[in-house]
Amino acid sequence: PSIQRDTSDGNKAPYYSIMSNLTATLRILRDDLKMKFMFGLNAIFGLSVAFINSYVNGEFVDIVLNEENDEFVGYLGALSAAVSAILSLLFGILDNKIGKGYILILGTFSYVGVILPFLVYPNAEDWGLFSLVMVYVFQGIGRATYEGTLRATFAEFFFQDKEVAFANKNLQVGVSFAIGYVLPFLLRCNQPSSFCVSFSDGSLHDMLTFELLILFVAILAILGYWRASVLYEKEKLELLYRNK
């Protein structure tokens, strides 16, 4: 006779696996101070990407270049991706020579370079193609540090549980991106001005608050990384002492 296997709980296995991974992800965020302090580096990436996608790609580029199609948006996005790909290789070589921290700080300042021109020159009429190109170059630099150096830093800081750490990293970026994507639609204003921007559908949005938020998060990212690195070095010394 054939052996009958009990598969009544088979459909529950994926559910339990997902819940287990989610629980582990939230636990490391709760219990490990380093993870909390690393949030800023993930948040600055998520918010910057949301700013580029929702505002710059969606509204600003068409005004600056007087284009009604998305052709130039595609070119600029490809430029950013190319810069990121090239610099990811370069940063991979440099991080062992100058340290990952300096590269991560460079990436954070690159995100500041994305936002700062919009604070200094908020009117699209003051912009040209070169200005837009520089914004996407800065975005590419920041993206390179996120996709390469930051991932390597997470693997180093959380070497005892890399998979959960990477899941937490992705969660933090996802939450930040979602917040950044909906924020312009929540930050409304009534009177058109340099920072109260009229979108293509006629709605008015307070972009100043969004831009200042990203600058504030950039400061938190640098301070948070410094604190996380101090904690990591302390943990290394304690581990070395215990293993003697």
| pLDDT tens, residue by residue, 172-214 | 999 999 999 999 889 999 999 989 998 888 899 999 999 999 9
Q: Are 127 and 73 a contacting pair, CB within 8 Å? A: no
d(CA 39, CA 45) in angstroms, rounded, equals 10
Core vs surface per residue 111-139: b (16+ CB within 10 A) or e: bbbbbbbbbeebebeebeeeebeebbbbb
Q: pLDDT truncated to tens, each residue of the chain (244 aa)?
A: 444 444 445 555 555 555 666 676 777 777 789 999 999 999 999 999 999 998 999 889 988 888 665 678 889 999 999 999 999 999 988 888 888 999 999 999 999 999 999 999 999 889 999 999 999 999 999 999 998 899 999 999 998 888 888 888 999 999 999 999 999 889 999 999 989 998 888 899 999 999 999 999 999 999 999 999 999 999 888 888 777 6
pLDDT, position 1 = 41
pLDDT, position 6 = 47
pLDDT, position 159 = 86
Q: CA neighbours within 13 Å on the CB side: how many for 84? A: 19
Q: What domains does the chain contain, in order, with CATH numbers?
A: 36-242 (1.20.1250.20)
Nearest to 41 by CA among 119, 114, 118, 146: 146
Q: Across the chain, where does the E strand assignment appear?
A: 196-198, 204-206
Rg, C-alpha atoms of the chain:
22
Supply the pTM of this predicted model: 0.85
Q: Are 221 and 108 a contacting pair, CB within 8 Å? A: yes
90 token code pair: 């370069």
What are the backbone angles phi and psi of residue 38, rounded to the nearest 5°? -80, -5
pLDDT, position 153 = 93
